[in-house]
Amino acid sequence: MCRKTSEGPFDDREDTVSAPNRAIDLSGEQITLGPVGDRVTRIAGAIGVLGLVATALLGMQGGVEGQARAMNSYLVAFCFFLSIMLGALFFTLIQHVTRAGWSVVLRRFAEAIAANAPLMAVLALPILVPIALGRDLLYVWTSSEALAHDHLMAGKVGFLNPTFFLIRMVVYFGAWSLMGSWFFRKSVEQDTSGDPNLTVKMQSASAPGLFVFAITLTFASLDLLMSLEPNWFSTMFGVYFFAGSALAFFATLPIVSYFTQKAGRLVGLISREHYHDMGKFVFAFIVFWAYIAFSQYMLYWYANIPEETVWFLRRQTGQWESLSWLLLFGHFIVPFLALISRIPKRAKGTLIVGAFWMLLMHYADLYYVAMPHLSEGVIPLSLMDLTAMLGVGGFFVASVATRLRNRSLVPQRDPRLHESLAFENF
Amino acid sequence: MSDQAPKKFAGYLVEFETPHDIMVAATSVRDAGFTRWDTHTPFPVHGLDHAMGLRGTALPWIVMLMGVTGCAVGLGLQWWTNAHNYQFVVSGKPFFSIPATIPVTFELTILFSAIGAFLGMILLNGFPRWHHPVFSSERFRRATQDRFFLSVEAEDPLCEEDKTGEFLRSLGGSHLEKMEV
């Protein structure tokens, strides 16, 4: 076979012969956030407080309607960060259940984000407390007046009633908090003890964990998002939300890695090979999301039954139609073509731009799901959408930074760490 | 074997005992400018493709081309059969609409890409062929067990029977032999 010896575009690896044993720096400064963590916590925390206060103040100004509008903005922002947290939990569980070696240097990020579950439970209070108090700001099925006029909806009251809804929320957030905190705690414990049995324990817990994860995520997405339009139903909705969640996390992971390395941490530990694999995950879940979104759409489109098509009809009317097109091209076609080659996945710059774009599209996707019930034919953009994102996001980031402040950014005594450091794609 | 025609020089085969040895040797052969040579290892050795100076293959482009073809065939087939050649009203649906055609288009894109990847790989690897000079060596069998081999074919423009033998001997392999066919 004819082989050219010139350097091609794929020759971006270090010469393994000249550097057979890369020295890995595992000293404290390199693998803990330290003062950088403090700064991030302070700034993000301040943004979080300001964002939530601004959202509340803006909402108060508009009377009941303004409060309802603020609640919807908050719900989208909350679900955005909830989905990242759930994606992180999913990643942690999958790495353990498959006994993955390549991802060990990245796993602590996922564990720290998944350990945000209790924070998300607290941040859910602005949604849950009004429901507990009998206000009908967000979900139409909480309004007795609406129930009196809508017999179809009244038939669902056995499931969609405030008491059972709140009980389910306690179950979901309880399960996620238990799992998220437990995996983070065990992994950190291994940093000091170096006990390989902890890995075995986490592996055995991961398979039942995935089962609980799948059930809770599915029902939570039905409760939080699908029940905004309670007469519409889709058995695919849970998977749809999952696809978006996993994608959101896989887009977050390279961004977090990139900025951590930019701050001088984990330099040489997270390599181009790891970025390449993160890129593959982003690409895979772009395709998976499109596959699920289209499957859900096509079945309703083909059957053409009014009570099922109503959800999509609303999203194809007026300004919402342009959002549908944006999702088709911006959430699937363009990033699919942009990330299909290995070159943009191995170049950090293009991968990070792609990851930010996918997060933006994920927000657009949640907006597309959660907002149209508020206004027919008009996209009701509001300053509160932004302030709610800053509010929830600020607390989310601050909490992760605090958690990692004095802890190792990698599971430094994980038995598979060296496998991960030596990882190479073919 | 003496009853057969005299054998022709077909290149050299060098045996190494460790992945590191063959990596170093591959770098030297790469830098010497050889083009028709290969390495044979019992398991994938990380970094060896770089040490050999291998470039990316044309395979992704073949797959891409086949995928686009499959996509066009899928769409075209459904348009031609349903909307053009034999129009037939099925439950009041339009003769041609994008959502209904996606599943078949998707499947044909995948099918064509997969066939492109499989046949493209076969062809780019130089198959089909019946024999390769490396199989004339008895020792070469250990390439699937515990030895690492580097072969330089006689057809390489730089390959000269004496000089190249000398060069390859200097690479520090544990055994050097001529391949003959």
pLDDT-based confidence at A404, cuts 50/70/90?
Answer: very high
Q: What angle do CA A165, A167, A171 make, to 5 degrees?
A: 115
pLDDT attached to residue A25: 66
Contacts of residue A426 in chain B, CB cutoff 8 Å?
A: 44, 49
pLDDT digits (tens, 9 = 90+) for A318-351: 999 999 999 999 999 999 999 999 899 999 999 9
Q: Of B46, B47, B56, which has the smallest distance from its Cβ to A8's Cβ?
A: B56
Residue in the block written with tokens 């599915």: A218
Cβ A17–B44 below 8 Å, yes or no? no
Give the separation between CA A116 and CA A62, rounded to whole angstroms.
32
And the tokens for A102? 């390549």
In chain A, positions 300-319, which contact chain B (CB-CB < 8 Å)? 301-302
Give the separation between CA B159 and CA B152, rounded to whole angstroms.
8
Cβ A1–B60 below 8 Å, yes or no? no
Find the domain containing A193 and state its range: 29-412
Q: Of B23, B35, B46, which has the smallest distance from its Cβ to A3's Cβ?
A: B35
Give the separation between CA B48 and CA B54, rounded to whole angstroms.
9
Number of domains in chain A: 1
Which residues of B fall below an 8 Å CB-CB distance to A? Answer: 20, 23-24, 27, 30-31, 33-38, 44, 46-47, 49-56, 60, 64, 99-100, 102-103, 125-126
Residue A276 has pLDDT above 90, yes or no: yes
Cβ A3–B53 below 8 Å, yes or no? yes
Contacts of residue B50 in chain A, CB cutoff 8 Å?
A: 11, 13, 15-16
Give the separation between CA A411 and CA A108, rounded to whole angstroms.
6
Give the separation between CA A190 and CA A410, rounded to whole angstroms.
11
**Interval A277-300 mean pLDDT:** 96
Cβ A298–B33 below 8 Å, yes or no? no
CA nearest to A300 within chain B: B99
What are the residues facing B39 on neighbouring strands?
B150
- Domain chopping of chain B, boundaries: 9-56+132-180, 59-124
pLDDT-based confidence at A10, cuts 50/70/90?
Answer: very low
Cβ A341–B60 below 8 Å, yes or no? yes
pLDDT attached to residue A24: 64
What are the residues facing B148 on neighbouring strands?
B16
pLDDT attached to residue A138: 93
**Residue of A5, A272, A287 to mutate for B, most B C-beta atoms under 10 A:** A5
pLDDT-based confidence at A7, cuts 50/70/90?
Answer: very low
Instruction: Identify the residue with better confidence: A19 or A106.
Output: A106
Share of residues in chain A with pLDDT > 90 (%): 84
Residue A86 has pLDDT above 90, yes or no: yes
CA nearest to B124 within chain A: A1
The answer to whether residue A163 sits within a structural domain is yes
Cβ A424–B53 below 8 Å, yes or no? no
CA nearest to B23 within chain A: A17
Cβ B55–A6 below 8 Å, yes or no? yes
Cβ B55–A16 below 8 Å, yes or no? no
Q: Of A1, A8, A424, which has the smallest distance from its Cβ to B36's Cβ?
A: A1
Cβ A3–B51 below 8 Å, yes or no? no
CA nearest to A21 within chain B: B20
The sign of the CA dihedral A52, A53, A55, A59 is positive
Pairing of strands B9-16, B175-180: antiparallel
Cβ A13–B60 below 8 Å, yes or no? no
Contact A112, A404 (CB under 8 A): yes
Cβ B51–A4 below 8 Å, yes or no? no
Contact B14, B140 (CB under 8 A): no
Cβ A302–B100 below 8 Å, yes or no? yes
pLDDT attached to residue A425: 82
Q: How many CB pairs under 8 A join A and B?
A: 68
Residue A213 has pLDDT above 90, yes or no: yes
Cβ A2–B36 below 8 Å, yes or no? yes
pLDDT attached to residue A20: 39
Give the mean pLDDT of chain A: 92
Q: Of A10, A16, A301, which has the smallest distance from its Cβ to B55's Cβ?
A: A10
Q: Of A9, A17, A298, which has the smallest distance from its Cβ to B56's Cβ?
A: A9
ipTM score of complex: 0.81
pLDDT digits (tens, 9 = 90+) for A98-123: 999 999 999 999 999 999 999 999 99
In chain A, positions 318-357, which contact chain B (CB-CB < 8 Å)? 340-342
Cβ B56–A16 below 8 Å, yes or no? no
The answer to whether residue A15 sits within a structural domain is no
From B7's Cα to the closest Cα of chain A, the distance in A is: 22
Q: Name residues of chain B where pLDDT drops below 50.
A: 1
- Give the strand order in the sheet containing B9-16: B37-40, B148-153, B9-16, B175-180
